[in-house]
Amino acid sequence: MKPIKGVSFMFLNIYGIFKMTDTDIYGIDYYYTYTPHPLCDDISFIEPDEELYDLLIKANKLIGTLDGLLMSGNVRDVYIDLILADEAYYSCLIDGYNLTFLDFIRKNRQKDKYLYNYTNTLNNCPAKQVAKKQMCEMHHQLFGDKDSFLVGNYRDKIIYLTPLLIIKSERYNPTSPKDIEPAMKDLFSFINKKTVFDMLVKSALIHYQFEAIHPFEAENGIIGRILTLLSIMYDDYLIKPAINLSKYLHLYKVEYFDRLEAVHT
């Protein structure tokens, strides 16, 4: 839908708000930004079906078993370190980093900054209550040596994302800079409170919300996957982030991006 020249307006679906304007950026005569529906508002329209309930029951049992092993002390720290290294490796692969896991194992982690910083961030996760300060510190810890984009603070400009994998996917402009602050405040409130949602459903909602907002100028994918792991820990389902979500997401990378895209299209 194309706006009238000189007029800005917005429209919405149940998942969020599209704001459109005819300001010329990136060589086109209009663009939109998208802000997802606040998670602290009424989201009763999100209802798992029977198939998902069955999967959640199985997954929660397995996570409970893993947490029991972690609490018993029978899982050695070196094993947990390998899981975190594997998680860091696959998360970086999803975002296009050119590396091999064997290279990472052989290198000095202090020199291999991004993977080292990733595992270090997970090992030294912030306090139970997460807010803007902790999120920006995490971003700076991971990418503080980069000078090609704004690090450690929310972006101050509109970014224009072009799909890399999904041929039918449209270009996407995430949340406008002036709307990032309230959108992230709502997300933090949702993370920090108890909800009626299953822990895994809640963590998935958190991940989608963060990626849809895209608060930082770059590297939102890596931060978002870390936040997903931390949210599982914050709800006391795991005492350590000893689970590799990114390996599965990398294996089904096209479907992963496709499902993220499908919510707002």
What does the alpha-carbon distance between residue 111 and residue 108 come to, in Å, rounded to a whole number?
5
Q: What is the pLDDT of residue 195?
A: 78
**CB under 8 A, 24+ apart: contacts of 186-191:** 186/38, 186/39, 186/40, 186/41, 187/39, 187/213, 188/130, 188/131, 188/132, 188/135, 189/39, 189/40, 190/39, 190/40, 191/130, 191/227, 191/231, 191/234
Looking at residue 20, what is its pLDDT?
65
Read off the pLDDT band of 249 (50, 70, 90).
Answer: very high
Contact 177, 158 (CB under 8 A): yes
Least confident of 88-97, 102-111, 127-136, 143-152: 102-111
In contact, 125 and 233? CB cutoff 8 Å? yes
Specify burial of residue 207 (Cβ count, 10 A radius: 0-12, 13-18, 19+): buried
Residue 31, pLDDT > 80, answer no
- Give the pLDDT confidence score for residue 205 in this predicted structure: 92
Mean pLDDT of 227-236: 85
Which range (18-27, 40-49, 149-158, 239-248) has the least confidence? 18-27
Per-residue confidence (pLDDT) for residue 107, from 0 to 100: 55
Nearest-angstrom CA–CA distance, 86 and 105: 10
Can you give the pLDDT at residue 86? 85
Q: Name the strands in the sheet holding 16-21, side by side, starting at the edge strand that comes first in the sequence.
A: 9-13, 16-21, 31-36
| Pair 223, 135: CB distance under 8 Å | yes
Q: Hey, what are 209's tokens? A: 């919300």
- State the chain's mean pLDDT as an integer: 79
| Across 130-138, average pLDDT | 86
* φ/ψ of residue 236, rounded to 5: 65, 35
pLDDT value at residue 149: 72
Binned at pLDDT 50, 70 and 90, residue 24 comes out as very low
Looking at the DSSP bridge assignments, the partners of residue 155 are none
User: pLDDT category, 11, cuts 50, 70, 90?
Assistant: low
The pLDDT value given to residue 3: 44
- On the question of pLDDT at 240 being above 70, the answer is yes
pTM value?
Answer: 0.84
**Rounded to whole angstroms, what are the CA distances from 40 to 15, 94, 132, 253?**
13, 29, 17, 29
> What CATH superfamily classification does 9-264 receive?
Fido-like domain (1.10.3290.10)
